[in-house]
Structure 1
């Protein structure tokens, strides 16, 4: 009776496919569908039947494939220098958080150096294999492990071409995103704001006319992966300004993970999950990549959505953007009262649609469908109304992000009902109270 396993059968099929491509001088790359399927099969084999909890009289330890692969390179005299070098290259990386991610990168290194069979070969020669794998595994079975090895050895003939520096998302997938490296002009701040989720710094705002805005490759939804060579994760929260200052008067280097793939018209799946946690609108991210002409045509021909409100006034309220300034502006508008710090008043009577998005507010003229006003939450400092005039409401926004702005304007509107006014204020308040970090 033949001894086999479906995973080995699948693995042999992939290897045969790759050998055919190799004969045609076709290189295998990271996001090749067959490579990802092959890699996932390989990972299943390495994990099948592994005895994760190692308990002895003297210690307890948790084992996974990456742990024993590293241990082999350190303790086994037969481990060749190439394999040891692969292990060291992975060990020093700071952009991977989990052993799953480190295992995937180590497999890629071994495939690229054509030695992926070496760790398995070293392990099956030792007695430790029976402590690490159960008998119903592939690697722990004497016969199946030999069949597995015989299937792996031909892989050394396959030319894999990997981007081994692109590893930030190997913790959650074998697929890699598009990476862009920029060297920006020396500056005090880049003009971007990020919000953190699952150790990732997602760009939630790009200020117009800022240094970052000059580079078309930097968009809302992208992930700030590195800043001046420093890996950006939750440990750098609140220290981004400090990291910028370290390279004062020098070009700023940043590494960006692109959220959107223009070829497939899709969001990189692990980043899309971050969007859900941060409540970022996927449609908004995609819209940034639309051709301007197409966007204008779509805008002019579509109906205006959002809350139906009347845009009444814009008032310059000085250096404070507080709720008190909004209340002063409302009294100034309705009661014709004057205040020293309200210097300029522009009155309107425009019917608009107030769109409350994940990144900010946008108002479109009901008749022309043109954008008449737009503010990100980073610029909005306060919103409010007066109980005696419940249908009227307003918000204050700075010329720059509100934490650094020294000039604010108040924008006044009239809602169709008291309930709509209250709902709008609650929605705006939720938006600008989200925690973001400026860079």
Structure 2
């Protein structure tokens, strides 16, 4: 077709349903209209993700697909070669949709949708309620999103210790700050001075230490422009004498799921890559005493990648079926782990803590073909 319109995004198809299909479409039309009016979304991809999640939560996804199938003008945009809607695989797919329509999906789609343009993953989103005060004391920074850069000492935000540097201010009293103009957040706060505030906060880091992946590039840019910035909660002015020193924040980073670790080296293990070989391979790498380098270990859905933090050069990449075994090295702090891959190599890494080491191992062993040991 002209201009290759056959490969339109699926949102464009769903958007046309109320106009192209003349049968009763109250549920579908209402969901499409709600998606179109959502101010937190910009791209067709984000709106499509929002609509699918909305349909899942309301158990109406099969209706969407059914209406697409009996709307010829919409089906013209779909390729018969690649579309699941026009081949033999559709029947089991439709059966799956019917099963999904019987399940409960608790998705806060009304509010937690600001990052659907960037990712399917939803962040941790919380409400910060501020009592009427003279000064909230938030230093904000605009970079497509409104970031909390710092907190003024003595301000209400500093006293409450609810939000942390690096968190995103998504809404203030229902006013969306997505793609806000420079200074708009400050204007909103000034207008509401002395009022009760309800601030919707998108956490840059979850409680388990994982960093929300779509924020990684923005946080890196934030650190480059503000080298003094230390992400995390502001230090208390007067810590109690009997308080124990809190452990440093985990170095788990990104998406649900990447970690900043030390790459200690790798070793050829020959044709036998079972878990019996792993401890000896790790010992051999440690004995070589190679200079370590900081890498970003990214545990994606289908594969594992290691990239240098300083240069973004890829150190290694392995798909989960290629990893035959993974485990930690028995030493006092239990922070060293290794995994064997089918190219006869053993990759050795050092995590920031024993818990982080366990998390990495458990995530890799989540793939069923990988053996592991303690």
TM-score by length of 1: 0.49
1:76 aligns with 2:13: no
> CA offset at residue 79 of structure 1?
4.6
Identify unmatched segments of 5+ residues in structure 1. Answer: 1-49, 56-61, 299-439
1:194 aligns with 2:140: yes
Question: 1:222 maps to what in 2?
Answer: 167
2:67 to 122, 125, 132: 122
Q: Which residue, out of 271, 293, 313, partners 2:244?
A: 293
**Residues 70, 296 of structure 1: alpha-carbon distance in 2 compared, 3 angstrom cutoff:** closer
SS of equivalent to 2:231: helix
Secondary structure at the aligned position of 1:256 is classed as strand
CA–CA separation in structure 1 for the residues paired with 2:98 and 2:46? 24
Number of positions where the alignment pairs a residue of Structure 1 with one of Structure 2: 241
- 1:276 is aligned to 2:220: yes
Aligned Cα root-mean-square deviation (Å): 3.2
For the 8 Å contact 1:72–1:122, the answer to whether it is kept is: yes
1:259 aligns with 2:204: yes
Return the alpha-carbon distance in structure 2 between the equivalents of residues 101 and 157 of structure 1. 25
Deviation at 1:72, TM superposition (A): 0.4
Deviation at 1:111, TM superposition (A): 0.9
Aligned equivalent of 2:177, options 227, 232, 247: 232
Structure 1 position 200, deviation (Å): 0.8
In structure 2, how many angstroms separate the alpha carbons of the residues matched to 1:145 and 1:128? 19
1:135–1:51: structure 2 CA closer, same or farther, 3 Å change rule?
farther
Structure 1, residues 172-217: CA drift from partner, whole Å, max 9, x if none? 12221111212323345421112222x2111111112102112222
Cα distance change, pair 256–51 in 1 and its aligned pair in 2 (3 A): farther
Task: Say which of 108, 131, 139 aligns to 1:163.
Answer: 108
**Given that residues 183 and 252 in structure 1 are in contact (C-alpha distance below 8 angstroms), is that contact kept between their aligned partners in structure 2?**
yes
How much does 1:124 deviate?
A: 1.5
Match of 1:339 in 2: none
Give the direction of change, closer, same or farther, for the CA distance of 1:228–1:254 in structure 2 (3 Å limit): same
Q: Give the 3 Å change call, closer, same or farther, for CA 288–185 of structure 1 in structure 2.
A: closer
1:97 aligns with 2:48: no
Work out whether 1:54 is the aligned partner of 2:5.
yes
1:296 CA drift (Å) = 8.9
3-state DSSP class of the match of 1:266? coil
Query: Greater CA deviation, 238-247 or 169-178?
Result: 238-247
Measure the CA separation in 2 of the matches of 1:241 and 1:260. 24
TM-score (norm 2): 0.57
Which secondary structure state, in structure 1, belongs to the residue aligned with residue 64 of structure 2? helix
The 1:184/1:297 distance shift into structure 2, 3 A limit, reads closer
* Map 1:353-432 → 2, pairs under 5 A: none
2:87 pairs with 1:149: no
> Larger helix proportion, structure 1 or 2?
1
Equivalent-residue separation in structure 1 for 2:176 and 2:80 (angstroms):
41
Higher relative contact order (Cα pairs below 8 Å, separated by 6+ residues): 1
Distance 1:281 1:73, change over 3 A: farther
8 A Cα contact 2:13 2:74, kept in partner? no
Determine if contact 1:52/1:132 at 8 Å carries over to the other structure: no
Which residue of structure 1 aligns with residue 52 of structure 2? 107
Go from structure 1 to structure 2 and tell me whether the alpha carbon gap of 1:288 and 1:208 turns closer, same or farther (over 3 Å shift): closer
Aligned to 2:152: 207
User: Could you tell me how far apart the structure 2 residues matched to 1:129 and 1:74 are?
Assistant: 10
- Structure with higher Rg: it is 1
